[in-house]
Structure 1
Amino acid sequence: MTSEYCVLPKKRKILIVYIATLAGSLGPIAGNIYVPILPQLENVFAASRSAIAGTVSVFMAVFAFCPLIWASWADYGGRKFLYILPLSFFIIANVLLASVPANLVSLYILRVVQAFGASSVMSVGAGIISDIIEPKHRGKAISVFMWGPQLGPVLGPVLSLIAIGDWRWVFGFLALLGFVVYLMILFLLPETLRFLVGDGSCLGKGYFVQPRIQEKVVEGYSRPPKPSLVGYWELLKYPPVLLCSINSGILFATFYGVMVTFASVLQDQYHFTDVGTCLSYLCPGTALIIGSTIGGWLSDRLASRAKNYVPEHRFSIQIAGLLISMTGILGYAWTVEKMAPVHPVFVFTFLAGFGMTWVFVSTTTYLTETSPSQPSANVAIGNLMRNMAAAICTAIVDILIDKMGFGWCMTGLALLDLIGICFVAILLKWGPRWRAKKTEPSE
């Protein structure tokens, strides 16, 4: 083995990161392109608001659990195949959604298949980043990779404008986008799992790769444990993974409470048109991109300045991010409750998104470092907590608003982020000790 972590040329690493980023955008775009057209779907499918909202909840629930299936196998047997197989289901589901007659049962079933197919890309993509980028510089790469999930709130609502002519174009577009990404993965993305390809010396110098199912095993790299429920249970019992994942879940639930109410607030209270509502999602979406980029840069800056680097150094910026996000949600709660002008609503949704993604980038980077042989599995657990929390929030937020009022409901969601601040303090103090007790096979 060479002393270099990965010998692939910088330009090729950049290409791999951007392919993983684009692939990572598929699920979030599929989820967010759908939210602004919910009122339209109520009419098309002659269904209640709660029945159509249920298709969002089932998508988020499947998107939460299925990465657990893909991620552990991606850590054990390879990354590329665990991209290609699920993506086929995603493409097929969107083709059918764009073509079959409008039926509520079919919509539910195909949304489940759609989420199943898109669910591998987040955790597997994080594993790819950990394969080719050494830990001290991983924050910036993760911040770029996080653009993928964050492009959902940015592009999804804007792209939903194509549904103004016909709602089926939403799914036709997703099928075409999925197919383009499928071809890029097939011909431009090499296998990166270090157990199979080591430091990348065996991958050659060209950009194009020959499609094949399995790479030969490179000697000198330990194989991760075989996927099992026991293995996941061991990761869940591992405090750094558990606390990071719960923290992410709580934070994402609070932000998703903003996102799922945003369209209704703009249309019912501020009388925005469908086009204006779709374009308004650019505000919190842009905040996600900016927050991720700055957060990743600061995270690596802290890591590079440390004399004796430990992954917990990345957490020192999280308390600021949590407070910014909490301020945004509290401001959103009471500007809407008091029927203030619309401009503060945009300011506070921007702050909510900026603070959330600032936290996420360092959390995701940490999850790839705290148990290096299972980065995809760690990120999958984080994804599980986030999307479970989002699904629960989507299902109950309207009920809570009816019972508590908009301002107090959103205030309650914002105050949940105080739990995250406690978790950050715990990890800063005890995280290094917990990691020291966990024996990892040497690479």
Structure 2
Amino acid sequence: MASAYSALPFKRRVLIVCIATLAGCLGPIAGNIYVPILPELEEVFNVSSTTIDGTVSVFMALFAFCPLIWASWADYGGRKMLYLLPLSFFILANILLATVPANIVALYILRIVQAFGASSVMSVGAGIVSDIFEPKNRAKAISIFMWGPQLGPVLGPLLSLIATTNWRWIFGFLALFGFVVYLIILFFLPETLRFLVGDGSCLGQGYFVKPKLQEKVVEGYPRPPKPSLKNYWNLLKYKPVLLCSINSGLLFATFYGVMITFSRVLSEQYNFTPIETSLSYLCPGSALIIGSSIGGWLSDKLMRREDYIPEHRFSIQIAGLLISMAGVIGYAWTVEKHAPVYAVFIFAFLSGFGMTWVFVATTTYLTECSPAQPSANVAIGNLMRNVAAAICTAIVDVLIRKMGFGWCMTGLGLLDVVGIIIVVVLLKWGPKWRKSREQVKSQV
């Protein structure tokens, strides 16, 4: 069934969201499937742990900044091409990683290319969802789309088990996975940018898509600004985008502190085997799925209010931030006091549940507060999250040694207090800032 917002049948829109979700797995899986075999790679490449860890940092840095390149072009020139072009680099990099002789310089270069190719999926995918789902149903669709980027860090360690016989199997798997996703996008994902295809009525009703280099422009839909540094600067000056992105970064840093210590805690303190540790990531993984789904449903339920404005989505975030904070602080002291392992799992679950609850509302709001540039807005949020994760990765071990596990993780958990303050500020002044920006645009 089509809607007034999109002429595409509901089943086809669901398929499009599923494709975006599948593509959204690629980058996070590529980043995390690699981590469990780092000790083996130290020996293979005959380098120190610091040198091999640097290949992870390089990937995360590129994965944080490159979406800024892709997102603006996706808002300006089309979504589909901004999937296919980067994916070509991703597939090529993984083929070479699986076949070229072991060389640390080549590893660094190809990890850079790999991150460059995988970096478009999050922001472009959010733009696709905003193209085909009206705001009243958008959070539910985004909650499903976010399963991909959120499950990637969980599935990565599990999929690393394929490297039990040879580490190159990891990159061979990623190349094959990327190629399958490429074919699915090529033949089943239509262009959705509303400037090019409008409400989608020009796309036909079938599921199969004949590949095209370029879509004709549909009249009546304003074109977003051409990509430029000035455009990103203007978005950063828009207080709701900046504050949402800072909030996301702080929250992700707290959750990442749990994730990067989780495996070490289970193996060293509770004597879990590598397989048991990998399977344990299903706990935070299920939290992300459940929290995302419930958060999306509640966020869209707020749309039923007659006086609805986009900022109303923030009203559920305080609960999510409190749940996340309780999870991180509870995790801190159950580990510190050597509590039974089930308590560690419960609090790790709560930290992920609260985080993803907040992220769904934030991502949906970023597609609404500046409708012409949803991918660019989400890319800024993605940048803040990945930078925060990189900083947390770099300092958490040092802080644990100096402060102790309990107090270090408690400090990370208390960052969510800053997030609660940001939410209160956005609830109070967000509508005024958004209306002021809309008035300025209408006068241009």
Q: TM-score, normalised by structure 2?
A: 0.96
Which residue of structure 1 aligns with residue 410 of structure 2?
A: 411
Amino acid at match of 1:394: T
Q: Distance in 1 between matches of 2:277 and 2:100?
A: 28
Which residue of structure 2 aligns with residue 384 of structure 1?
A: 383
- Residues 13-44 of structure 1: CA deviation (Å, up to 9, x unaligned): 01111001101111111122222223333333
- Residues 275-320 of structure 1: CA deviation (Å, up to 9, x unaligned): 111111111111111100010011101122x112211111111111
Deviates more, 1:160-169 or 1:114-123: 160-169
Q: Supply the RMSD in Å over aligned alpha carbons.
A: 1.5
- Residues 199-253 of structure 1: CA deviation (Å, up to 9, x unaligned): 1111011111111111000001110011111110000000000000000011111
Amino acid at match of 1:239: K
- Residues 407-426 of structure 1: CA deviation (Å, up to 9, x unaligned): 22111111111110000000
Which residue of structure 2 aligns with residue 14 of structure 1?
A: 14
Cα offset, 1:103, TM superposition: 2.5
Which residue of structure 1 aligns with residue 288 of structure 2?
A: 288
Which residue of structure 1 aligns with residue 326 of structure 2?
A: 327
Closer, same or farther in 2 for the Cα pair 1:156/1:133, shift >3 Å?
Answer: same
Which residue of structure 2 aligns with residue 429 of structure 1?
A: 428
Amino acid at match of 1:263: S
**2:101 is aligned with 1:97:** no
Report 1:5-44 matches (<5 A).
Answer: 5-44=5-44
Q: Distance in 2 between matches of 1:311 and 1:163?
A: 46
Deviates more, 1:355-364 or 1:339-348: 339-348
List gaps (5 residues or longer) in structure 2.
none
- Residues 375-425 of structure 1: CA deviation (Å, up to 9, x unaligned): 000000000000011111112211222222222211111111111000000
- Residues 62-105 of structure 1: CA deviation (Å, up to 9, x unaligned): 11100000000110011110000000111111111112222222
Cα offset, 1:441, TM superposition: 6.0
Q: Distance in 2 between matches of 1:183 and 1:162?
A: 23
Deviates more, 1:40-49 or 1:220-229: 40-49
Q: Distance in 2 between matches of 1:283 and 1:46?
A: 35
Q: Distance in 1 between matches of 2:407 and 2:44?
A: 34
List gaps (5 residues or longer) in structure 1.
none
Report 1:19-418 matches (<5 A).
Answer: 19-304=19-304, 306-418=305-417
Q: Any conservation in 2 of the 1:255–1:352 contact (CA below 8 Å)?
A: yes
Deviates more, 1:324-333 or 1:63-72: 324-333
Number of matched pairs: 440
Amino acid at match of 1:212: K
Q: Any conservation in 2 of the 1:283–1:349 contact (CA below 8 Å)?
A: yes
- Residues 81-136 of structure 1: CA deviation (Å, up to 9, x unaligned): 00000001111111111122222222222111111100001000100001010011
Q: Distance in 1 between matches of 2:292 and 2:209?
A: 31
Q: Distance in 1 between matches of 2:362 and 2:108?
A: 32
Q: Distance in 1 between matches of 2:58 and 2:339?
A: 34
Q: Distance in 2 between matches of 1:269 and 1:332?
A: 13
Q: Distance in 2 between matches of 1:43 and 1:259?
A: 25
Q: Distance in 1 between matches of 2:243 and 2:314?
A: 12
Q: Distance in 2 between matches of 1:45 and 1:380?
A: 34
Closer, same or farther in 2 for the Cα pair 1:39/1:407, shift >3 Å?
Answer: farther
Q: Distance in 2 between matches of 1:149 and 1:319?
A: 23
1:109 partner SS: helix
1:416 partner SS: helix
Q: Distance in 2 between matches of 1:364 and 1:18?
A: 17
Identity %: 78
